[in-house]
Every structure is written in C-alpha cells, then in structure tokens.
Structure 1
Amino acid sequence: MNDTPKLLVVDDEPDNFEVVEILLFREGYDLVFAQSGREALQEIERQLPDTILLDAMMPEFDGFEVCRYIRSHSQYQHVPILMVTALDSKLDLAKGIEAGANDFISKPVNAVELRARVRSLLRVKQQYDQLKALLKTREELSNALVHDFRNPLSSIVMSADMLATTPLDTKQRKYVKYISSSGLRLQSMVDSLLIVAKVYANKLQLHYQPVDFVSLVRTTLSEFETLAERKQIQLVARFPDVRHTIDADETICRRVLDNLLANALKFSPKGSTVEIAIEYGDEGDLCVRVADDGPGVKPEVRQQIFEPFEIGQIMQGVSQTGLGLAFCKTAIEAHSGSISVENRTPHGAIFTLILPRKRCDGMTG
C-alpha cells in the first residue's frame, strides 16, 4: 500500500509545474500534473488525489468550473482543493469559495506558505479518511449484528407457531398469537434495516413483479389485528371497485405498509381508528393513504421525519427509533415514487405514498 500523498497540480502553464515541483521537492509528495481542466477531471476519474492545487485562470474550462464539477459529484467532493490564483479581489475570492475551494494561495507562490497550506489540507483529507474507515467498520458491525438477529427471531416465530397447534385455553392462545405477531414485527424491522443498508451501499436490487395492492393490504392488515385489538383501535380499509396490478417489489412494498401501519397504531390513542385507503389516478398510478387519530405532524418537521434517526416529536411511552419512515422514503423513491405527510382534520396524520404505473392488468373485484 502506497502511503505517499498524491497531489494533482492543474495549470495551463508548464513553467508553473516546475515551480511547484521545486517548492514541494523535499516534502516527498507524489505529484501529478494536468494542463487543462478536462485533463484534470480525467485524472481524477482515473485515481483520486489527496489534494488538488488548482489554477483559477485557464482557457476553456477554468478552475472555478472544475471546482464546481468536483463538488457536484459525491465520489470526488471530499477531496480538498487549494485554489492558486493571481486574482486578489474579494469578489473573486468569494466566487472561489462558492465554487467549493477549501483554501487559496496567491501568485507568485511563496514556498513556506504553499507547504503549510498543503499540509493543512492533507490533514483534513487524512481526518476524512479515518472517519470514513471508522464509519465503515461501524456499519459492517451493525449489519452483521442485525443479520445475526434473524436466526433467533425465526426460532421465536416458528416456536410460537408450533405452540399454537397444541391444546391451549383462550388466554394462552391469545398470548401465543401476540408472541408470534411481535416476532414477525421484529423480523420486519430487521429486514428493513438490512434493506436500508443495501440502499446506502448501492447494492439494493428491486425485483419487479405485478402486485395487487388490495390483496397486499388485506394480508398486511391481518397481521396487525392482534396489536389493534390490544390497543382497542379499529382498522378500516377502503378499496376501489376496480383495481390494477402495479409493477413493484412486493417484499419491499409489504414492509413499507408494515411500517406505515405500525407507525399509525403506535401514535393513535386507545379507542381510535386507523384507516388505509387505495386509489388509482387517471394514469393508473397507485395512491395509498394511511390515516390515524394521533397528534399529527408539525409542518416544520414534515421533511425531517423521513430522515434516518430523526424524530419529529418525542412521545412519552412510545418507542421511536427514527428508522421506519426513513425506510419508507428510501424504498418508495427506489421505485421512482414519492411519500408525504399532512395533518388530518380535526386531528391525526395522513401519510400518502404514490407509485407510478409501470405495467398494469385490468382486474375487477
């Protein structure tokens, strides 16, 4: 492994390359030169440097444009950029900062200043790399732990199902059913975490098939009957007379419905109603609405609640991880759909998800 810092020097004047090489000679850096903005981007795509010394004034594709391009691409945007410029106006400096430069040095370049600024930016890059490695280790450990939860959870659910086939009185059967449904909910949460991890790692593959969402919602509702009974909440479903299949990943969409219903039941008070309704737009797009009688969602946090680990409003006695709605957003957007929330009158919240109609077959029922 080569630990020598790599510096990409971008300047359209070859003489300036020699100056930088002389000034940084004793630092032991691996210097790579590019004579134009486009050549610099080609080099960055080939191998990321640890720091970029970027001349501001170049023909065709100047340093400001190169800087903006780098900052607009996630795979490059963390690389520190030292803008080398003969410009000294405050407006030009502001332009460079807005473009994404980390620091500036003026021509003619001073050797002591150049070495100090390059060292500073290399420290920034090193800290970024260390943090990235730490986060990757934590992510891998978390994913491994979540993955290992699946086996004991499967055993709990299977054991509860086997126990349900034995002679039990009414009260025992009620508790066994509760164990089974709770185990299934935990399994769904674990699977959701694994799916979110795949999305962030760009490894999620959707398995599209025609899905009848009316049937899917009915199946999902049946899994929540026990929980709804315990909280004395009525589940209400509203379906269209004519329905269609929507091309989607059925497993992932089922987990989205699980999360939305679990969220609605979690925040709804005893004796209230949770309603789920399906509609189809003029173009056949699917619209699913889940409405509850909870406290609603404040306007200022309606986007925030869809971010990982973000909680809109802390509720006493209610378990809130900040992952369920983040998963829903990730999963629906992976289907090129959308999800939003609005308040219900007189109280409560309505979560609406929309999925595009990729392919449909007419169905009645």
Structure 2
Amino acid sequence: MKKHIMLVLHFAFIFFALLGIGLMFVNSNYGRGLSWLSSEKYENSEPFEEQLKLDIHHIFDYVNYRDVFETNGTLDLNKNIAGISYVNSPDEEEIFTLDELVRYARTRGYSLDENKNVIGVPVEDNSEVNIRVNWKAYKPNEHYSGPGDIFSTMDSLSKETLTCLGDYYKVVQFMMEQPSNIYFQIRYQRSDTEASVYTNAPDKTVDELKALGKYCFVSGSSLSLDSNLSNPPAEMTVSAESSNPYGNNNYYAIVAVDTNYPAVDAYSAGNASFHRMRVFYIIGLLCLLVGLLGTLITLYQIVSSYRVKKLIYLDKVTFEGSVILSLLSILFFTYLSDKTICKLLHTLFSIPYWNYIDMVVHLSITYIICLIEGFSILRRYHAKTLWSNSMFRNFRKQVSLYFLHHRFTVRFAVYYLVFLVMNFCLWGGVFLVAFYIDGATGMALSAVLGTLLFLLDVWGFHMLFHSAWEQDRINDAVKSISSGNTSYQIDTSLFTGKEKVLAESINNIGIGLETALQEQVKSERLKADLITNVSHDIKTPLTSIINYVDLIKREKIQNPKIQDYLNVLDQKSQRLKTLTEDLVEASKASSGNMQLEFTDIDFSELIYQTNGEFEEKFEIRRLELVTSIPEKRIIIEADGRRLWRILENLYNNAFKYAMEGSRIYVDLEESEDGSMAAFTIKNVSANPLNINADELTERFVRGDVARTTEGSGLGLSIAKSLTQLQNGVFTLHIDGDLFKAQVRFPIKKNSSNT
C-alpha cells in the first residue's frame, strides 16, 4: 500500500513540476533568468521598449499624415488623396478623395478594428483592372524599384489608404483624444514666425517631459540621441530627419512616457501584465522547485523500498541492449505522439501553447520509459545480473580469452595501437570542428571531443599504471617466495587478463611449496621422534646385554671358543650402543633441538689436543699426521663439547676410510680479512669415492659402498649439523680418491693474541 501511495505522490509532484514549467514557459519573460524578478521594472523591460518603438513609429506616421488628412486641424474627408490613370486611357487622370477611397475600401470588405488595424477579407471581383498610380498625397516622395511597381489596383490603393488612415487614428484617438501615458512634442522651425508643431502636450516644456520618466529626445543641432532607455530607438533620428518638411536642422522631437502610468492605455496594461507575469513566474518557479524536490524524495523512497529480485522478460536482455531498446522506444513513441497525441491536443489549445504541449508530451514519454528502464536496472542489481548479463562483460571476456593465448607483447601492441587510433580520431575531430563549425555548436562539440580525449588519455594512463602495479605485485611475490616466505599470497581480486592467470599460478606455486615444506618438516619431526623412541627402546635391552656380557666375562670362562663368542658379543653390543647414541645426537642436531653453551675457545689449542688424542689410534693403521697450525691463538665462540664432537667425527672418519700407511693433513688458517678461521683435514681414501660430496653429509651414507668398515654413515651428518648450529660452515670436497673436509667459524673480534 505504501508503494502505491508513493507512486501516486510521485506523479503528483511531477504534475506540479510540469505546471511550474508551464507557468514560466508561457510567461512573456521566459528565458530572461531570475534577476528581473527582484530588480527590473516594467519601464526597463524589453516589452516596454518594443511598445515605445512602435508608438514612435506611429507618431511619425501621424506627423507625415496630419497635413494630408486634416484641414485647419480637423479631418477632411474631401481632401484629394491620389491621382490615377487607367491603362486604356493613360493621358486622362482621375483624382480620388479620402472619402471615396475609404468608401471603396468598405465595398471591398475592409474596415478598421478597435485598435485601428485593417481587417477583413477582400470581396472577389473579376472586373478589377490595373491602374497607374500617378501620385499619392500620403507618399509624395515614393520611389519605385521597377517600372511595373507604378501599376496597382483600386483594391490595393484603397486598402493602403485605409491603413494610413488607421495609423493616423492610432495617434489622434489613443494619444490625443483619450488620456495617455505617452507624450510627444515635435517642432520643425522654418523661421522665427513660421513653425510646424505636432504634440499632445502643448503646455509642457521639454524638461518637464523628460521629468515624466522615460524619454527620447532628438535635436537637429545634435548628432546624438538623448535618452535614458537602455536600448534607445536609433530609428527615431532617421524618422525625425525624414519627416522634416523644411530641410534644415532647426527642429527637435521628444517622446516621453509617464512611468507612474496614471492613464489607462497600453503602458498601464503592460505594467499590470508585467507584475502579473512576475507573480505567475514566481508561482511557477515555486511549483517547479516543490515538484522537483517531491519527485526526488518520492523516487528515493520508491527506489530504496524496491527489493524485487524476480526478473521479467525485459530483464533477460543484456544491459546495453536494454538501454538501446529504451532509447529507440523514446524515439519511436515521440515520433508517434507528434502524429497523434500532439495533433489532438493542438485542437484544444491555441498556437502559443503548442510548443509547451509538445514538450510536456515528449518529456512524459521519456520519463516513463526511463522509469521503466530504471526499475529494470534495480531488479538486475538485486538479482546480481547487472554486470554478469552485459555485452561489455561478454566482450571483455572474449578479448581476455583471446589475449590469454597470446604473449604479453602482442597484447601491449594491440592496446597501444587502439589507443593511438582513438587519439588520432579524437584529435582529428577536434581540429575539424574547430575549422568547420562555428558558434555554440562548435564549442559544444569541441568540449565533448576534448572531454573524450582527456578520458581516453586517463584510461591509457590507468591501463599502463595498473599493468605496472600488477607486475610490481608479481615481482614482490616472486622475491618473497624465493627468499623462503612460501606462505606469501597475491590478492588477485584487482588483477585482470594474463596477469591474473600468472598471479594465480604463482599463488599455486607458493601453496605447493608451503605444503611440501610443511610435509617435509612433519616428516623430519616424525623421523626424529621415531629415532628417539626406537633408540630409547633399544637402549634398555642393550644396556642389559652389555651388563650381562660383562658379568659373564667375570666368571673366568676357560673355554676359548666361548671366550671368543663373548668378545664378539661385547664388540657388537658396544658398536650398537655407539650407533644408538649417534642416532639420537644426529636427530637432535638436524632438528636444532639441542641446547648450546657458547664460550671463547682457542681453536688452535683444541686441534693440538685432538691430535694428541688420535696419535696412538692413527699408529694402528700407520697413518702419519701432518699438521700446519699457526702459532698465535685463534679464538672462536662455540660450544666446546659440540666442537670437540665435530673434530672427533672428522678424525674418526679419516681413521676409518684413509688408505693404510698414508698421510693425513690437518691445517688451520685465517681468511685474508681475518674474519674466519678455517680447519681443513685431508686424506687419501682407501677406496675410490664414486659419490657426490653433498651426499656424504646425508644420514646413513658411507663412502665405503661395500660396507667393509665399521662406519655408521652418521659422523659427517652430525658434524655438519653441529657446525651449522654454531654459526659455522661445513664443506666437503672430493677429487678422485682425495677427500677434503673443511670447517669454518667466525673469529671473535679483539680476542686474538700472538
């Protein structure tokens, strides 16, 4: 119910707005703006000036006709007015008086109305013959443009005479015999004693006439027109000069209007009409404002409460197609209304209102169709099909699909070519309009083309900037992922075209890497947990085995064979214990789950101690230890126990895999800039090393493929992990059967002594 009330109010306010437009449109002041409502008076208006110009013209007609039609100050119907000759007797002249010509005009159906204008339809008379007009008293100096102009008919001559008589009466009756607000005084001086005076204010001076209000004053001795009108009638000077019967400059003419309008005439009626039109214009303006405001408010209420999502048949057409269909409907129904509704309404109203009626009909048709289209747009919006069901989206989708299968360079070239062509066309249009179209139309077209050109350039800049922005986002994502931040994701909501596909691919790569990394971390954690749990499970029975083996050995068994079995059992159980401990330590080292106690350590001294620990062990396999260590102290910051384990694993690795009877080289040196201490151990392997150096640091990987040695494959892996935990660098180098391991640690500043 509320919707229907709002709809009724909406159309009621539209009617108010149209009523206001009508009151202003039919107003004689329509198109003059709003300033005249508060500041302008009737005597300053254009209708006043037009009336005054018309009256000045009639006054000088009176000046020219008074002596023709009057005798001793009264109208003389017996005065000779024209002389004619018939075509068949050109030498005989017939003279017609004013009375004869007026009566002839009456017989032809002509007369004067209340405003002294000629009215009537001429009576058809086949006997009318051409005559030659020899002279006219009211036009003594008439000039003909051609030889045929001298010929006329009695009908034309009598009508012309009646017209001149009507102009004479307009002044005599309306300005002289009846009270009038317009006063005139025209004086042509021939001599001091002879003058021709034409006036309806003989008792007023020129200054008194000027003081009445508005005036125009012409003097034969002055080249300028004296007037207080905003647009003085320049033709008054011409009329005053041409009406001078004496051909001298001793004359003046003044026409004045009493702006108090005491008399009832055209000026008082115009003043009343002016004020009445002012009131009507204000009422129309108020109706327009109230109507527009009410229309907007009710339209907002209707639109805000319109939540219909169900689409009708019209809404299934594409958005652009619906708009084009609405425009075509406006054109069609406007044309149809011109031929039907407007023609019918023209029969009910007078001609001055036809333009307004046509405008109202056209605006009503346009508004109704736009209202229907507006509600269609609202339904599309609520149903979320406004964008999805549009030709532009489909076109953009097709273009995007086309460019998805082409390189970025092709897309950029096509975009830029289209941009150049459109720029060229718009610039060409601007220049053509500037050269060939003048006035307001040219300026309007130039403004439209200039605006389109500006919008095109803004669009071009936006496309380039947006493409650069997309590339920056993609570049940031690649850098972030390459630096290890695999969880980085690009917001692709603002991306388009191939850049969007590329950004989504990078996001998928990041997701894949993040998933793989999480799986790897999970796997490492599970392996570490497995190793720890298995090691603990093995350690308990292994401890029992070792203890029982030790107890059995104390029984002093005499059987040598059993003694050998016990030795093997003791050896293997100790090896299994070492392997279990190595597994736990390798797991902790690789996962970083190890507490370190950093202290200042003399790296040189630690290497000397390690050499002493392994000197006897190396002699078992006749390995010669060759050492090169600087005499000065090299202080590093590390965990002493873990650093010893690194060196122990490297020395044990050399003991197990070095060729028997070969040399083992141990070096310690500083880097050139004194920032790093590098420990190197080199040996010749007993077996060929057909393996990558990086693989040797993996768990359970041994250089002895045949597994003839006692190595577990964990020593180098533990050494590498412990080195990295202490901010060091662990590297291996293999060249044939030459094995080289290097451990580097940062030297602590200001802690080295010679």
* Number of residues of Structure 1 aligned to a counterpart in Structure 2: 281
Residue 251 of structure 1 corresponds to 641
The reply on whether 1:101 has 2:510 as its aligned counterpart is no
- Looking at structure 2, the residues matched to 70 and 310 of structure 1 have their Cα atoms a distance apart, in angstroms, of 34
The reply on whether 1:77 has 2:486 as its aligned counterpart is yes
The farther-off stretch of 304-313 and 247-256 is 304-313
* Residue of 265, 268, 271 corresponding to 2:661: 271
The reply on whether 1:210 has 2:600 as its aligned counterpart is yes
CA offset at residue 327 of structure 1?
2.3
Residue 15 of structure 1 corresponds to none
- Looking at structure 1, the residues matched to 701 and 478 of structure 2 have their Cα atoms a distance apart, in angstroms, of 30
CA offset at residue 236 of structure 1?
0.8
SS of the residue corresponding to residue 646 of structure 2 reads helix
**Paired AA for residue 260 in structure 1:** L
The reply on whether 1:330 has 2:739 as its aligned counterpart is no
SS of the residue corresponding to residue 708 of structure 2 reads coil
Is the Cα contact below 8 Å between 1:265 and 1:292 reproduced in 2? no
Q: How does 1:152-163 map to 2 (within 5 A)?
A: none
- Looking at structure 1, the residues matched to 695 and 713 of structure 2 have their Cα atoms a distance apart, in angstroms, of 10
CA offset at residue 292 of structure 1?
1.2
Would the alpha carbon gap of residues 69 and 342 (structure 1) be closer, same or farther in structure 2, given more than 3 Å must change?
closer
The reply on whether 1:143 has 2:532 as its aligned counterpart is yes
- Looking at structure 1, the residues matched to 675 and 472 of structure 2 have their Cα atoms a distance apart, in angstroms, of 48
**What's the RMSD between the two structures over aligned residues?**
5.4
The farther-off stretch of 214-223 and 265-274 is 214-223
Is the Cα contact below 8 Å between 1:243 and 1:280 reproduced in 2? no
Q: Which runs of 5+ in 2 are unaligned?
A: 1-383, 385-465, 552-562
Would the alpha carbon gap of residues 279 and 190 (structure 1) be closer, same or farther in structure 2, given more than 3 Å must change?
farther
CA offset at residue 138 of structure 1?
3.8
**Paired AA for residue 535 in structure 2:** V
Is the Cα contact below 8 Å between 1:305 and 1:311 reproduced in 2? yes
Would the alpha carbon gap of residues 152 and 226 (structure 1) be closer, same or farther in structure 2, given more than 3 Å must change?
farther
**Paired AA for residue 747 in structure 2:** R
Would the alpha carbon gap of residues 241 and 225 (structure 1) be closer, same or farther in structure 2, given more than 3 Å must change?
closer
- Looking at structure 1, the residues matched to 550 and 470 of structure 2 have their Cα atoms a distance apart, in angstroms, of 70
Q: How does 1:10-25 map to 2 (within 5 A)?
A: none
Deviation string 1:188-243 (CA, Å, 9 cap, x unpaired) is x655544443344443343222223344334434554565454x232414153513
SS of the residue corresponding to residue 632 of structure 2 reads strand
**Paired AA for residue 261 in structure 1:** Y
* Residue of 198, 202, 208 corresponding to 2:588: 198
* Residue of 655, 680, 684 corresponding to 1:293: 684
SS of the residue corresponding to residue 102 of structure 1 reads helix
Would the alpha carbon gap of residues 337 and 157 (structure 1) be closer, same or farther in structure 2, given more than 3 Å must change?
farther
Would the alpha carbon gap of residues 312 and 64 (structure 1) be closer, same or farther in structure 2, given more than 3 Å must change?
farther
**Paired AA for residue 77 in structure 1:** T
- Looking at structure 2, the residues matched to 131 and 331 of structure 1 have their Cα atoms a distance apart, in angstroms, of 20
SS of the residue corresponding to residue 679 of structure 2 reads strand
Is the Cα contact below 8 Å between 1:157 and 1:184 reproduced in 2? no
CA offset at residue 148 of structure 1?
6.2
CA offset at residue 101 of structure 1?
2.5
Would the alpha carbon gap of residues 356 and 135 (structure 1) be closer, same or farther in structure 2, given more than 3 Å must change?
closer
- Looking at structure 1, the residues matched to 547 and 679 of structure 2 have their Cα atoms a distance apart, in angstroms, of 32
**Paired AA for residue 351 in structure 1:** A
Q: Which has the higher helix share?
A: 2
Deviation string 1:290-316 (CA, Å, 9 cap, x unpaired) is 111215656x82233334455567345
- Looking at structure 2, the residues matched to 217 and 66 of structure 1 have their Cα atoms a distance apart, in angstroms, of 47
Is the Cα contact below 8 Å between 1:296 and 1:349 reproduced in 2? no
Which one scores higher on RCO, CA 8 angstroms, separation ≥ 6?
1
**Paired AA for residue 303 in structure 1:** D
Is the Cα contact below 8 Å between 2:693 and 2:734 reproduced in 1? no
- Looking at structure 2, the residues matched to 184 and 220 of structure 1 have their Cα atoms a distance apart, in angstroms, of 22
CA offset at residue 130 of structure 1?
7.9
SS of the residue corresponding to residue 203 of structure 1 reads coil
Is the Cα contact below 8 Å between 1:210 and 1:248 reproduced in 2? yes
- Looking at structure 2, the residues matched to 214 and 129 of structure 1 have their Cα atoms a distance apart, in angstroms, of 41
SS of the residue corresponding to residue 301 of structure 1 reads coil
Q: Which runs of 5+ in 1 are unaligned?
A: 1-18, 20-55, 104-120, 163-171
Is the Cα contact below 8 Å between 1:304 and 1:312 reproduced in 2? no
Q: How does 1:298-317 map to 2 (within 5 A)?
A: 301-310=692-701, 314-317=705-708
Residue 424 of structure 2 corresponds to none
Residue 278 of structure 2 corresponds to none
CA offset at residue 357 of structure 1?
0.8
Percent identity between matched residues is 19
Would the alpha carbon gap of residues 203 and 85 (structure 1) be closer, same or farther in structure 2, given more than 3 Å must change?
same
* Residue of 444, 450, 474 corresponding to 1:64: 474
Would the alpha carbon gap of residues 243 and 151 (structure 1) be closer, same or farther in structure 2, given more than 3 Å must change?
farther
CA offset at residue 151 of structure 1?
7.3
SS of the residue corresponding to residue 317 of structure 1 reads coil
CA offset at residue 147 of structure 1?
5.2
Greater C-alpha radius of gyration: 2
TM-score, L = length of structure 2: 0.30
**Paired AA for residue 474 in structure 2:** F
SS of the residue corresponding to residue 727 of structure 2 reads coil
- Looking at structure 1, the residues matched to 608 and 550 of structure 2 have their Cα atoms a distance apart, in angstroms, of 21
Is the Cα contact below 8 Å between 2:696 and 2:702 reproduced in 1? yes
The reply on whether 1:234 has 2:615 as its aligned counterpart is no
Would the alpha carbon gap of residues 95 and 235 (structure 1) be closer, same or farther in structure 2, given more than 3 Å must change?
farther
- Looking at structure 2, the residues matched to 293 and 357 of structure 1 have their Cα atoms a distance apart, in angstroms, of 29
SS of the residue corresponding to residue 145 of structure 1 reads helix
- Looking at structure 1, the residues matched to 701 and 531 of structure 2 have their Cα atoms a distance apart, in angstroms, of 18
Q: How does 1:98-137 map to 2 (within 5 A)?
A: 100-102=506-508, 136-137=525-526
Deviation string 1:139-193 (CA, Å, 9 cap, x unpaired) is 213123335666788899999999xxxxxxxxx9xx99xx79x959964x65554
- Looking at structure 2, the residues matched to 248 and 241 of structure 1 have their Cα atoms a distance apart, in angstroms, of 20
Q: Which has the higher strand share?
A: 1
Is the Cα contact below 8 Å between 2:669 and 2:678 reproduced in 1? yes
Is the Cα contact below 8 Å between 2:733 and 2:741 reproduced in 1? yes
